[in-house]
């Protein structure tokens, strides 16, 4: 039962990693943009939620009603005002710009909130659990994170393949020049994609802040987990991103069970093994 519990907990934490990765997968799939500042935006969302909660007294999960729209607007404006200017055939300018954003966000958060760590208090939700069988308990918070990840990815899949906005995303991703000839404004399509990605980032940031302490410098490590989940699952494949997050979470759980010092190492080794065997990931998107 002990190992079953380890695997179950790894699957559940994989939902959080999938939330870290879903925004990365989305913007890469639409505009082939690798956002180095992605992890720092996750942390920034956690800090914004903290400010909202301090000002209004809302429960952390209810703060989503404020943080998600704000981050969607930030994403739209950021893409339209800055990132669209550096997108093109060369991958280097977007990387440099998003790296600069990462440094700016880290230092801005440090200046405003100091280097102290913080945590959002979700009350009984953090400690209550559901017993599946003797020796296997599922916490309500990890379960909620996993269900949210599945729901968000299912929603994004529906949007991509069943709506006019999704058709615009796929058209600009497949051939931006032809899409423009057909009347699409690629700049605004990319801005809507970034708005969606940042909305998912906001959800991930709040769940992160409820689950563990956060500080201004933890963004790069969240970025690594997100990248690993995306690459394990296959670039641009949203359901593959969920599978990648689960594999990463289970590997870390098994590593921690063997030796607590192996937790992160086990996840990185699983990533390297899959990358060596399947360089395009387990479920690469077929163009």
Cβ–Cβ under 8 Å, residues 72 and 196: yes
For residue 252, the model assigns a pLDDT of 94
How far, in whole angstroms, is CA 134 from its chain's centroid?
A: 33
124-147 pLDDT tens trace: 888 888 887 777 888 899 999 999
Neighbours of 217 (CB within 10 A): 14
Instruction: Assign 207 to helix, strand or coil.
Output: helix
DSSP letter (8 states) at residue 86: T
Q: Is the pLDDT of residue 228 over 80?
A: yes
The pair of three-digit structure tokens given for residue 183, joined into one six-digit string: 């009347």
The pair of three-digit structure tokens given for residue 52, joined into one six-digit string: 């909202």
**Distance from C-alpha of 39 to C-alpha of 20, rounded to nearest angstrom:** 8
For residue 184, the model assigns a pLDDT of 83
Q: What is the mean pLDDT of residues 189-202?
A: 95
Q: Is the pLDDT of residue 67 over 70?
A: yes
- Architecture, CATH, for domain 2-112+138-277: Orthogonal Bundle (1.10)
For residue 92, the model assigns a pLDDT of 87
For residue 286, the model assigns a pLDDT of 56
Q: At what angle do helices 38-56 and 219-233 cross, to 10 degrees?
A: 120
Helix ranges (H only) for 57-139 are 64-81, 92-113
5-43 pLDDT tens trace: 889 999 999 999 999 999 998 998 888 888 999 999 999
Average pLDDT over the chain, rounded to an integer: 91
For residue 204, the model assigns a pLDDT of 96
**Sign of torsion over alpha carbons 257, 262, 268, 269:** negative
**Distance from C-alpha of 253 to C-alpha of 8, rounded to nearest angstrom:** 9
Phi and psi at residue 286, to the nearest 5°: -95, 115
String of b and e for 126-141 (b: at least 16 CB within 10 Å)?
beeeeeeeeebebbeb
Give the range among 14-23, 186-195, 257-266 with minimum mean pLDDT.
257-266
For residue 47, the model assigns a pLDDT of 97
Of 208 and 237, which is predicted with more confidence? Answer: 208
- Total count of residues recorded for the chain: 287
For residue 235, the model assigns a pLDDT of 80
User: Which CA distances in Å does 245 have to 212, 269, 280?
Assistant: 18, 14, 16
Q: Is the pLDDT of residue 220 over 60?
A: yes
Q: What is the mean pLDDT of residues 155-184?
A: 85
Residue located via tokens 């890469």? 28
pLDDT band at residue 91 using 50, 70 and 90 as cut-offs: confident
For residue 33, the model assigns a pLDDT of 86
The pair of three-digit structure tokens given for residue 189, joined into one six-digit string: 């399509």
Cβ–Cβ under 8 Å, residues 255 and 263: yes
- Number of alpha carbons in the 13 Å side-chain half-sphere of residue 112: 13
Give the range among 121-130, 142-151, 222-231 with minimum mean pLDDT.
121-130
pLDDT band at residue 64 using 50, 70 and 90 as cut-offs: very high
User: Which CA distances in Å does 181 have to 24, 77, 177, 184, 193?
Assistant: 28, 24, 6, 7, 20
Cβ–Cβ under 8 Å, residues 16 and 182: no
For residue 1, the model assigns a pLDDT of 67
The pair of three-digit structure tokens given for residue 35, joined into one six-digit string: 């956002």
């Amino acid at each position: 039962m002990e190992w079953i519990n380890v695997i179950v907990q790894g699957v559940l934490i994989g939902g959080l990693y999938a939330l870290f990765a879903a925004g990365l997968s989305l913007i890469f799939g639409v505009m082939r943009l690798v956002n180095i500042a992605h992890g720092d935006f996750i942390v920034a969302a956690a800090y914004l939620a903290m400010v909202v909660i301090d000002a209004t007294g809302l429960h952390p999960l209810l703060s989503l009603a404020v943080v998600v729209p704000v981050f969607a607007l930030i994403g739209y404006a950021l893409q339209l005002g800055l990132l669209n200017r550096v997108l093109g055939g060369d991958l280097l300018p977007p990387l440099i710009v998003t790296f600069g954003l990462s440094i700016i966000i880290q230092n801005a958060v440090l200046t405003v909130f100091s280097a102290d760590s913080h945590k959002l208090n979700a009350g009984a939700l953090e400690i209550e659990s559901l017993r599946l069988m003797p020796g296997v308990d599922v916490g309500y918070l990890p379960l909620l994170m996993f269900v949210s990840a599945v729901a968000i990815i299912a929603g994004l899949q529906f949007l991509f393949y069943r709506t006019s906005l999704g058709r615009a995303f796929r058209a600009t991703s497949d051939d931006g020049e032809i899409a423009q000839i057909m009347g699409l404004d690629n700049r605004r399509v990319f801005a809507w994609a970034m708005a969606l990605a940042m909305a998912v980032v906001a959800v991930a940031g709040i769940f992160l802040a409820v689950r563990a302490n956060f500080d201004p410098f933890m963004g790069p490590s969240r970025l690594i987990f997100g990248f690993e989940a995306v690459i394990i699952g296959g670039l641009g494949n949203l359901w593959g991103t969920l599978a990648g997050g689960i594999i990463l979470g289970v590997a870390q759980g098994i590593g921690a069970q063997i030796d607590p010092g192996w937790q992160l190492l086990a996840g990185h080794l699983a990533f390297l093994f899959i990358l060596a065997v399947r360089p395009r990931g387990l479920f690469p998107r077929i163009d």
